[in-house]
Amino acid sequence: MPEGRDRYACSITSLTLLISLTRVIPDILQELDPPQPAHWRHHLLLLYKKGVYLSHTGEKMLFWVLGLLILCVFLWTCKGNLKIADITDKYIFITGCDSGFGNLAAKTFDKKGFHVIAACLTESGSTALKAETSERLHTVLLDVTDPENVKRTTQWVKDKVGEKGLWGLINNAGVPGVLAPTDWLTLEDYREPVEVNLFGLISVTLNMLPLVKKAQGRVINVSSVGGRLAIVGGGYTPSKYAVEGFNDSLRRDMKAFGVHVSCIEPGLFKTNLADPVKTLEKKLAIWEQLSPDIKQQYGEGYIEKSLDKLKGNTSFVNMDLSLVVECMDHALTSLFPKTHYAAGKDAKIFWIPLSHMPAVLQDFLLLKQKAELANLKAV
């Protein structure tokens, strides 16, 4: 019996100890891991709400920015569509109207109601144009490289327009000259395109400018993508680069007089100017005059290889000349004409963007279009 009482007493003691531990354990755990204060949860909730608020604010800001951009595009488009009030009392003078852009422009603006004075180089071109237009249109024979001819024509135009002045001057006359590698050419090969495309344009502009200032009108210079990028050798590209420079300085000088100056940069178009047969004939004539060394460097089949390369780029040639005339129309009639117009899909998609690229990329793409030389060591 004494042993039984001991065991019973031990069991009672153990149970009492277990109950005590059960009461103490929560206190111990609380000391080891104290509960977070209520303000901590409050701060966390505030941070969450702030994050949600910032997210919503960012979304609203993006929405307003997009809305503003859309509004700007809309207003810019509307601005470009605003036209001058009346064109039936306005005179415009266009050079190079025998064919191509100038010929189509003269017909188009005559139909619109402008008083068109179309300058042609040949009598046949003048006669053909008059046969297809109204009595409002007048033609005049003009060689832009002849200073006396330009002065006489200016006086004749002055008598025609009277006190109204000249609303529009479109410098369109131009020639390609010889398009060939630079080391094939002489100084004389550069002279013709520079005389016509640059000095002829400047001569006509300087003489007609007082009439344009009187009307607070427009000057439109037809340049080329060749004035932004040297695509081929010869005098055409330098002349068009110079036209771009003259155009920019003229635009800034005339701004104070209320005269708008625009430059049109057509891509490759199928016109008499770019007649492949005439271009080939000129190149063959130059080839016959080359030294034996240069012929050996380029090889007898170089011209044929170059033509084969060009045949692969026929998709670049624009057939619709009205794309250029539409640019002229906007520059003449818009209340807010552009300073530069790119005409033709090739100009907009390839040539003009390429002109902004690094020279190393320009060289890589343009040199791929050139035929390989036969013997570089024959120097």
* Residue where the block lists tokens 């026929």: 314
Residue 175: Cβ within 10 Å count: 18
pTM of the model: 0.79
Query: Which two structure tokens, joined as six digits, stand for 212?
Result: 């344009």
At residue 281 the predicted structure's pLDDT band, cuts being 50, 70 and 90, is confident
Most trustworthy range by pLDDT among 47-61, 78-92, 228-242, 271-285? 228-242
Q: Does residue 236 carry a catalytic annotation? A: yes
In this prediction, what percent of the chain has a pLDDT beyond 90? 64
Confirm if 225 and 348 have CB atoms less than 8 A apart: no
Ordered alpha helix ranges (H), 334-376? 345-346, 352-355, 359-367
**Mean of the per-residue pLDDT values for the chain?**
86
Q: Say how far apart CA 80 and CA 99 lie, in whole Å.
A: 29
197 contacts 239 by C-beta, under 8 angstroms: yes
Give the residue carrying structure tokens 């100056």: 261
Query: In the 8-state DSSP scheme, what is residue 334?
Result: B
Note the maximum CA span of the chain: 151
Active-site residue, from 8, 48, 190, 236:
236
Mean pLDDT value across residues 340-347: 96
Mean pLDDT of 261-275: 89
Query: Domain residue spans in the chain?
Result: 87-270+318-363
CB 251 within 8 A of CB 261: yes
Separation CA 118–CA 97 (nearest Å): 6
Is 87-270+318-363 a CATH 3.40.30.10 domain?
no
39-89, pLDDT tens digit by residue? Answer: 555 655 565 555 555 566 666 677 677 777 887 776 767 766 788 888 999
- Tell me the Ramachandran region of residue 299: left when phi exceeds 0, alpha when psi lies from -120 to 50, beta otherwise: left
